[in-house]
Chain A
Amino acid sequence: MDKKRFTHILLIIGVLSVFVSVPMAFAISDAYKGNIYQPGTLKPNDSKLKVKVGDPAPDFKLPSTSGEKVSLSQYRGKKNVILSFVPAAWTPVCSDQWPGYNIAKDFFNQYDAILLGITVDNIPTLFAWTNQMGHLWFPILSDFWPHGAVAKKYGVLRSDGVSERALLVIDKKGIIRYIDVHDINKRPPLEELMKALEKLK
Chain B
Amino acid sequence: MKKYLIPLTIMILLFSVFAFPVLAANKPPEKGESLPAINLPIPKNLDERSYLGLSGSGTFKIPQIKAKVVIVEIYSMYCPYCQKDAPGVNELYRLIENNPDIKNKIKLIGIGAGNTPYEVEIFKKTYNVPFPLFPDKDYAIHKACGEVRTPYFMVIKINEDGTHQIVHTQLGNYPGAEPFLELVLKASGLK
Q: Which residues of A contact B (CB under 8 A)?
A: 4-5, 8-9, 12-13, 16, 19-20, 22, 24, 26, 28-31, 96-97, 99-100, 102-104, 106-107, 132-134, 187, 189-191, 194
Contact = CB atoms under 8 A, between A and B. Distances in A.
Contact of B122 (A26, A30, A97, A103): A103
Contacts, number: 107
B10 A9 contact: yes
B3 interface: yes
A190 to B, nearest CB: 5
Given A28-B150, A187-B78, A12 B116 contact: no
Contact of A5 (B7, B84, B123, B126): B7
Given A100-B78, A100-B119, 9 more contacts: A9-B10, A19-B23, A28-B150, A29-B81, A31-B81, A100-B76, A134-B80, A190-B118, A191-B118
Contacts of A104: 122, 126
Interface in B120-163: 122-123, 126-127, 138-139, 142, 147-151
A13 B14 CA distance: 8
A132 B83 CA distance: 12
Contacts of B4: 8
A36 B79 CA distance: 14
A interface SS class: helix
Given A9-B10, A104-B122, A189-B119, A31 B78 contact: no
B122 A107 contact: yes
Nearest to A101: B78
A114 B11 CA distance: 50
B64 to A, nearest CB: 27
Given A29-B149, A30-B149, A103-B126, A96 B7 contact: no
Interface of B: 3-4, 6-7, 10-11, 14-15, 18-19, 22-23, 76-84, 113-114, 116, 118-119, 122-123, 126-127, 138-139, 142, 147-151, 171-172
B79 A99 contact: yes
B151 A24 contact: no
Nearest to A18: B19
Contacts of A19: 15, 18-19, 22-23
A173 B116 CA distance: 32
A12 B7 contact: yes
Of listed A8, A13, A103, A104, residue having the most chain B CB within 10 A:
A103
B123 to A, nearest CB: 7
Contacts of B126: 103-104, 106
A22 B18 CA distance: 11
Of listed A5, A20, A29, residue having the most chain B CB within 10 A:
A29
B128 to A, nearest CB: 12
A96 B18 contact: no
